[in-house]
Every structure is written in structure tokens, then in C-alpha cells.
Amino acid sequence: MIYFVTSNLGKFEEARYILGELEMKNIGYTEVQADTLEEVVQFGLREVQAKITAPIMIEDAGVFITSLNGFPGVYSAYVQRTIGNDGILGLMQNRVDRRAFFRSVVGYVEPGLEPVIFRGEVHGTIGFKACGSMGFGYDPIFYVGNKSLAEMNIAEKNMISHRGKSLALFKQWLTDR
Ligand code: ITT
């Protein structure tokens, strides 16, 4: 059994869809202020590893908006909590370049093993309005083609998403070793 340390049920459901046996552990870890998601994950893994002696994964994600020079990026959780999707739509109001991408970094460790990391990205655009009621976080304003991620069910989102890709690589690694 792998423990997924996360506070985010949406993430957990997406991960369970791909990995199968997975248990959610909402015990928290320090999300350090760093320039990259990889650093956040490496730091977080060390912290949870000290608390649980078992196979553990964590995942950190962020949305990077081209015309905002990559903002909110590593600050995505804080920005979602504070200004939210309406705030992002406001910041994007007069911007012609709508390009954005999501990045997911999965970290895994088990007793006696060096941590391993897997990445995934999905490129899309920030829409002009929120649409859809599935998913979570930035999903209603992040579009791939003419559909927002919040208009996709878990199976559809996993097929194209940042997390779907990083988790597929993780799953492959688990199978191959
Ligand atoms: P953890 O406990 O796993 O850290 P979190 O919700 O804080 O859960 P992150 O720090 O990885 O997760 O996510 C940063 C922000 O980006 C947060 O507000 C998420 O809701 C949002 N986010 C992450 N993945 C997303 C996705 O697939 N679709 C939409 N928003 C996403």
C-alpha cells in the first residue's frame, strides 16, 4: 500500500484512478518557499519520511501563465486561496496571450530507497470565463482546446493532464522495477 500525503481529495481521486491501491493521509507537510516544484517535493518527502515508515508519495502542482511571467507557479495554492479564479481572470482581462501550462511533480520514497521524482505537463489557455463544475482549483479557467478541465470527468482529465502524465510515469516505474 502506498500512502499519498495530501490535503486535496480531488488530487487523491485522480491518483487512485491511475494507481489503484492508494491511501490518503492528510497529515500535512511544510511547503517550503522555493523557486521550483521539485524543491518543494524533495523537502516535503524528507519531512514525511521522518514521520511515516512506509511507501509514501506526495505531489506538488502549479499553473504557470506565460503573460504573467510564470505566475502563480509555485505560489498557486496561496493565489487560489486568496484571489482565486476570479482574481486570475481579472489579472488576465486585457491580455491577448492566454497561454498557460500546469506542471505536476510526483515524489515517491520507501524505506531503503532514494527518493524518485516524476514530472508531467499540460499546455492550454486561460479562458475569459470559468466553465464546468468537475475537478478543483484552477480547472474551470484552464482550457485545453475549447473545453475547460472542469468540463472533463476524471478519466478524461487524466488522459491529458499534468498529473495524469506524471502518475503514468510513476506507475510505469513501479511496474518495471
Ligand atoms: P497538497 O496537500 O497535496 O499540497 P494542494 O491543494 O495544496 O494539496 P498544490 O500545492 O499541489 O495542492 O496545488 C497548488 C494549487 O494549484 C492548489 O490551489 C490546487 O487547487 C491547484 N491545482 C493543483 N492541481 C490542479 C489541477 O489538476 N487542476 C486545477 N487546479 C490544480
- Ligand 1 centroid vs 114 CA: distance in angstroms? 25
Best of 76, 85, 160, 163 for a ligand 1 pocket test (most atoms within 8 Å of beta carbon): 76
- For residue 31, the model assigns a pLDDT of 86
Burial class (CB in 10 A: 0-12, 13-18, 19+), 62: buried
pLDDT digits (tens, 9 = 90+) for 36-50: 999 999 999 999 999
Instruction: State the chain's mean pLDDT as an integer.
Output: 97
> In total, how many domains does the chain have?
1
- Cis omega before residue 72 (within 30°)? yes
Q: Indicate which residue's Cα is closest to atom 5 of ligand 1.
A: 8
- 91 lies in which domain range? 3-176
- Ligand 1 centroid vs 149 CA: distance in angstroms? 13
Helix (H) or strand (E) holding 61: strand 56-65
Which residues are tagged catalytic? 60
Q: Indicate which residue's Cα is closest to atom 28 of ligand 1.
A: 139
- For residue 77, the model assigns a pLDDT of 96
pLDDT digits (tens, 9 = 90+) for 64-78: 999 999 999 999 999
What's 125's domain CATH number? 3.90.950.10
Cell representation of residue 29? 507537510
Residues of the chain scoring pLDDT < 50? none
Q: How far is CA 98 from CA 71, 123, 138, 143, in A?
A: 13, 11, 14, 10
Best of 6, 8, 75, 126 for a ligand 1 pocket test (most atoms within 8 Å of beta carbon): 8
